[in-house]
Amino acid sequence: AGVIGMTKSMARELGKKNILVNAVAPGFIKTEMTDKIPEDIKAEM
């Protein structure tokens, strides 16, 4: 939540100068490949 809040705040401030701000957060995208990972391993990630 902190990264998202910081990103929104920076986007508001820097947007005035035509600067874009993005955030990248780690995580899974559900695909056939990630469906094959056991649930206990996913829980550790």
Distances (CA, A) of 30 to 12, 14, 15, 16, 23: 31, 33, 32, 36, 20
Query: What is the pLDDT, as a whole number, of residue 20?
Result: 98
State the Rg of the chain over Cα.
16
pLDDT per residue as tens digits for the range 1-45: 899 999 999 999 999 999 999 999 888 888 999 999 999 998 887
Domain boundary assignment for the chain:
2-44
Tokens read off for 11: 């986007």
Q: What sign has the CA pseudo-torsion 5, 8, 9, 11?
A: positive
Query: What is the pLDDT, as a whole number, of residue 43?
Result: 87
SS3 content of the chain, % helix, strand, coil (to 5): 55, 0, 45
